[in-house]
Amino acid sequence: MEMTERRRQILGLVVREYIKTAQPVGSEALARLKLGVSSATIRNELAALEAEGFLTHPHTSAGRMPTERGYRYFVESVMDEFELSPIEQRMISHQFHQVTLDVEQWMRLSAAVLAHTSHTAALVTAPRGPESRFKHLELIGISDKVAMLVLVLQEGTVKQQMLNLSQPLPQEELRRIANRLNDYFAGLNSARLHARARDLTDFTATVAETIASLMEQLDQRTSREIYRDGLLDIFRQPEFAAVDRMQQLLEMFEQHNLLEDMMLKLAPNQGVQVIIGREGGHDEFNDYAMVLARYGVEGEASGIVSVFGPMRMPYPLAVSTVKYVSSLLDDLMLRFYGGR
């Protein structure tokens, strides 16, 4: 089949209309939108588009709706590079400048902005380097037998952990130990830190082991925390009018291995990427879609922003929002970690 301009137009109209109404769209309705030809002509074109696999029929007397392939073509070749309006951009960037300088807050805000602007669920991961490196350690006495270990990593993550003391140690002594280990471990990754910890004994050895295992935990990809927002909005979509669909989605979120997997597959530095339905390689992902982008400095510290929803997703809006938020985070990261 030849992909004439008119067919492209009609496909675009069907996709947009279906995204808006969630109802299969018929030839009559299209004729009313796009004046110039009659519904009969449009029917012929629709049949051609269906034969090519861009559209389907739920049943004989229903209108057309896009297939996975139809959405893909729309995203690739029909959809215009829709930009957020300057007003919206300013509103968003304003919010980012108001918030305090804290990674956690940035993540929450990013998720909130993505969800509210694109009317879908948002998933955001915190920036992380390829592997964590030791930066600083602090020991604080809590009681006679307990001390708190505070660990700061190069990328800015902070972890704390309680430690049992076999014998009471004064704060002065704790500080001395911390200072010694700070010099000893400066800049090491978990493996090298682990190796160097062998030379230590007693309490310092315990501290070192604890640090190493905390860092290993962080390096495991499953330990990444994912910030989410907008789940509720998604559940209001008509696709989840059936209970089982709703449950399926809930399960996908709760045990989020699947979505995490999608995020890991994201190629580095490819700009915004769109995954539609089974393209992701998971059958459960059947009629869902995701729009993702990496932000930050590759190799240094980077994370992922993404939105997720039913396959019937406002792609133009989603793509441009993801693009804009990731560019904002790029700036922030550069500003605060760039001049290291």
93-100 contacts at long range (C-beta below 8 A, 24 or more positions apart): 93/328, 96/328, 96/332
Angle subtended at Cα 120 by Cα 329 and Cα 72, rounded to the nearest 5 degrees: 90
Taking every pair of Cα atoms in the chain, the longest distance, rounded to a whole number of angstroms, is: 89
Smallest gap from residue 161 Cβ to a second copy (A): 5
Q: Are strands 288-297 and 301-310 parallel, antiparallel or unpaired?
A: antiparallel
Q: Give the distance, in angstroms, between the CA of residue 12 and the centroid of all CA atoms in the same chain.
A: 27
- Token pair listed for 61: 């007397």
64 binds DNA (CB under 7 A): yes
Does residue 59 touch DNA according to CB under 7 A? Answer: yes
- Does 16 interact with DNA (rule: CB under 7 A)? no
Using CB under 7 A, which of the segments 60-68, 212-220, 274-282, 302-310 binds DNA? 60-68
Query: Could you say which of DNA, a second copy, none residue 242 binds, taking C-beta under 5 to 8 angstroms by partner kind?
Result: a second copy
Residue of the chain from 17, 19, 26, 313 that contacts DNA (CB under 7 A): 26
Interaction site with a second copy (CB under 8 A):
100-103, 135-136, 138, 140, 142-146, 148, 150, 152, 156, 158, 160-164, 231-232, 235-236, 240-243, 246-247, 250-251, 254, 336-340
Which is closer to DNA, CB of 39 or CB of 273? 39
Q: Measured from the CB of residue 78, what is the shortest distance to DNA in angstroms?
A: 19
62 binds DNA (CB under 7 A): yes
Strand partners, 296: 302
Task: In whole angstroms, give the CA distance from residue 295 to residue 72.
Answer: 24
Is the separation of the CB atoms in 147 and 141 below 8 Å? yes
**Residue matched to tokens 């009629």:** 287
- Among 3, 22, 50, 336, indicate the residue that binds DNA (CB under 7 A): 50
Binding site for DNA (CB under 7 A): 24-29, 36-41, 43-44, 46-47, 50, 57, 59-64
